Amino acid sequence: MSDYTMTIDGEAVSAPDTFGVVNPATGEVAAQAPDCTREQLDRAMAAAQAALPGWRGDEAARRKALHAAADLLFARSEELGRIITLEQGKPLKDATTEVLGAGVWLKYFADLELPREVIQDDDNALVEVVRRPLGVVAAITPWNFPLLLAIWKLAPALLAGNTVVLKPSPFTPLSSLRLGELLRDVLPPGVVNVVTGGDELGAWMTAHPTPRKISFTGSVATGKRVAASAAPDLKRVTLELGGNDPAILLDDADPATVADRLFGAAFANNGQVCSAIKRVYAPESLYDDVVEALAAKARAAKVGDGMAEGVEYGPVNNAPQYERVKELVADALSGGARAAAGGRPVDGPGYFFEPTILADLSDGTRIVDEEQFGPALPVVKYRDLDEAIARANGTHFGLSGSVWGADPDRAADVAARLECGTAWVNTHLALAPHQPFGGFKWSGVGVENGPWGLYGFTEIQVIHRAKR
């Protein structure tokens, strides 16, 4: 088991206690991570606060450092990818792609403009609107894309001139710890501090008096607690929470043509993507063909240890999520649903579950109404398109959705009726650093990515200079 250290004020820091990090492909503890104490968190916050003046005062140095950090990730993509596969479970190819994607995000923000807007320039006054950093940012990240989603927060926060204390999920702390170790070579001490621990550490961070912003990605329930904890201190928050993304197939869609893309967008990262397709609505005339086309993809999928050659889908990341997937599939089957493919755990060690396509079920079934976040996809039949849209919108979620059909203009008109932050047409999971990402309703507050994500890490200040 390798030794991983926290990063506080640019230094390697261990902790009095550690906690085990499980390899989900085996179910066995593969490494130990430091369990941050309250005093160590205070030190990390103090280091971030002390680093603020120098960091926010030199925009050119910030941009140079972000480029250097990106180059570092590109150079260490294989090393970091293996760590992600060990702790998260995804195939090594996908894990390495995640690291490379994190580098792309860093490069994008390193070159993104920080606008200084002149809103008045006349004989009376010169009035400018500038964006200033908020201060220390507490960043709390999930286990599905542990490195990429950390960079989604770090890159804009750092460009804007903030400093950061980062806490990864206790299920996947190792890649963030290693990231912190590597960043010591390219960032001034205190600019990025990485601490690890359980839910208690997250609660300490959100209630801590130092941060002026909390950026959180995770479940709806935890997001509500984060917002409640931030409210007494009026901390700014960005919350990227759960999704139950619908995909609506129109009656002119070709099941054979769209099945591959539907399956890919539903089962990416083994279904553990907040904006993955979580339920498919198919018209009666196409229903059986859609179910069978998706089931054929599920039956052909290669599931196994992410370190093995040719594996397409790894395990569910952790025991609680594995149990949830089992529970939701069992509930659907006991209620009359049919497993067109899969439907069972895979025999043997680890948290493996068969890629599952569920048919003959409808809204009101838990796996349709709730977010499964795993390798099981319900396909729901509809007769009337307006009814399908209403059912797609009839949840507390509103992250993303997609519409599929032969006429892209018609599909776009339907997509515009979805109540969600991103509505795709004939695609899904098309994410990019320049494209804002956020949710309606319980799926979140604020957005990440693009200039809009950058602005979320800033305060607006008016500079008004009188001319007479």
Q: Which residues are marked as active site?
A: 240, 274
> Which pair of tokens denotes residue 113?
């403009």
Cα(47)–Cα(35) distance, rounded to whole angstroms? 19
Close Cβ partners of 215 (under 8 Å, ≥ 6 residues apart):
137, 138, 139, 140, 153, 157, 237, 238, 448, 456, 457
Q: Would you give the distance in Å from CA 208 to the centre of its chain?
A: 24
- CA 465, CA 468: separation in Å to the nearest integer? 9
Element (DSSP H or E) covering residue 177 = helix 174-183
Cβ-contact 136, 165 below 8 angstroms: yes
Residue 74 sits at φ, ψ, to 5 deg, of -60, -40
| Three-state DSSP state, 374 | coil
User: Alpha-carbon Rg of the chain, whole angstroms?
Assistant: 23
Phi, psi of 340 (to 5 degrees): -70, -25
Identify whether the C-beta of residue 332 lies closer than 8 Å to the C-beta of residue 361. yes
Nearest residue to 275 (alpha-carbon basis) of 151, 447, 105, 467:
447
Q: Cβ-count burial of 262 within 10 angstroms (0-12 exposed, 13-18 middle, 19+ buried)?
A: buried
